[in-house]
Homo-oligomer: A and B are copies of this chain.
Amino acid sequence: MTSETRRRLLAACRDIVGADGVVSAPDELRVYECDALTTDHRAAPDLVVLPTSTDQVAAVVRLCATAGVPIVPRGAGTGLSGGAIATRGGVLVVLTRMNRVLDIDLANRTATVEAGCVNLAISRAVAPHGFFFAPDPASQQASTIGGNVAENAGGPHCLKYGATKNHVLGATIVLPSGEITHFGGRLADQPGYDLLGVFVGSEGTLGICTEVIVRLLPVPQAVKTLLAVFRSIEEASNAVSAIIARGIIPVALEMIDQETTQAVEAYAHAGYPLDAGAVLLIELEGLSAEIATEAVEVEQACRAHGCLDAKVARSDEERTLLWKGRKSAAGAFGRMTRNYYHQDAVVPRTKLAAVLREIAAIGVQHGVRVPNVFHAGDGNIHPLLCYDDRVPGQFERAMAAGDEIMRCCIRAGGTVSGEHGIGVEKREYLRLMYSDDDLAAMQRVQQVFDPAGRCNPGKIFPDQRHEERAP
């Protein structure tokens, strides 16, 4: 962007959102040069705009369209694949000031919220009425629904309830042209092509979502949380398949390996055994009678696969403590290693044991520690590649191990991302899954929405058709 273009945009953006809604000082722009992706992708935007209405977003986007500069939508910046980084400069549109719950319609079980509304704020707003919003990414205390829509965010409880895609009924979208449009609506049945379906998970490349109509679910009558202890990851993996094969879908089925339980336990005192090869954290929701029966079946399935011990939380306190262990994993990682690269992939449940064995071998081969905490129920693994960026070669070795892990998952019939998205991180890996024709078809869909390729450019796709930077 030329300094003249930048000067004009700055003035015009200030007119639209007010001076306090624009960030332009280089030091302040550096705050936005990365998101929660911990590897080496960094790029500061030319300007940051913080709008407070859909009309303001549309006005800013129209400005950028006229000027021919990139626009990059951003929520809380908690994404793990670099999707909210302005890799080619331009204007970063940060939606955190649009955080209102606009409407709660209990009879039709929907809530309408602004895109910058924090995930957990939705459940908090409807909790007094006995409802909740199901998708629960680990970032749910910070991440916004707009970002969740962009990434089709998952979470532990998505095993039973499905990911963000299954809970979004409609959205207000500012297209890259600056037009305001609406996809979907309050009703599940919308004739014509399902453009909302394409938008969810499109990682900010098709437009900027400003309002979302979400589906609400009634809070279940009862919840039961179990910790099952295993000698090995292999036995725990087999128990996962056995539970599902019995026709039980827990709301959460999380696996935590020994290295992580030890690290977590030192801090959270969650009651995880230190000598177990792996533990499963299993949560059931429903009517009391229903989950009592299911808990017995889950325990049977675990014991049939070498479970050494299974304990059921007997109080809310015990339950909270068991989850505290799981939720402290990210913090524990920070104490286990100076730097880490958090991978994300999916493999068929039945391949979990084999893939995890192979991941361990890859770690040994590259001299990289790879603890694992993940959503076992839907085969969504999250190997954590540990390294120290002060030691020459460690970063490169961690990246090489990560690369081999991706290829191993694909060989097992898996995919290269379960919930973190492709962003800038995994663009090249898409080639492992899709042919050139597949990718070209997706890019032609992108061009329908964004013919100039200005909306979050440089994301998702490996080949870059729009290499030119805007003037």
Give A contacts to B, CB under 8 Å: 106-109, 130, 154, 162-163, 165-166, 179, 181-182, 185-195, 197-198, 200-202, 218-219, 241, 244-245, 247, 286-287, 289-290, 293-294, 346-350, 378-380, 413-419, 421-422, 426, 430, 433-435, 437-439, 441-442, 444-449, 460
Contact = CB atoms under 8 A, between A and B. Distances in A.
A154 B189 CA distance: 9
B442 A379 contact: no
A437 B181 contact: yes
Contacts of A187: 346-348, 379, 413-415
A377 to B, nearest CB: 11
Contact of A189 (B186, B190, B378): B378
B191 A200 contact: no
B108 A189 contact: no
A106 B346 CA distance: 18
A271 B188 CA distance: 33
B348 A108 contact: yes
Contacts of A107: 241, 245, 348-350
B193 A433 contact: no
10 contacts: A154-B189, A181-B437, A185-B415, A189-B378, A191-B422, A191-B430, A192-B442, A287-B289, A441-B448, A447-B448
A190 B445 contact: no
A41 B418 CA distance: 45
A219 B286 CA distance: 17
A194 B189 contact: no
Contacts of A442: 192-193, 195
A241 B197 CA distance: 27
A450 B467 CA distance: 27
Contact of A293 (B162, B200, B289, B434): B289
A343 to B, nearest CB: 13
Most buried by B among A188, A441, A447: A188
B438 A181 contact: yes
A260 to B, nearest CB: 22
Contacts of A346: 187-189
Contacts of A182: 438
A109 B413 contact: no
A23 to B, nearest CB: 31
A106 B415 CA distance: 20
Given A166-B166, A193-B446, 10 more contacts: A107-B350, A181-B435, A191-B417, A191-B421, A191-B422, A191-B430, A192-B433, A195-B442, A289-B290, A444-B448
A194 B190 contact: no
A258 to B, nearest CB: 26
A330 B172 CA distance: 39
Contacts of A290: 286-287, 289-290
Contact of A197 (B198, B416, B446): B198
A39 to B, nearest CB: 18
Contacts of A433: 190-192
Contacts of A189: 154, 163, 346, 378, 380, 415, 417-419
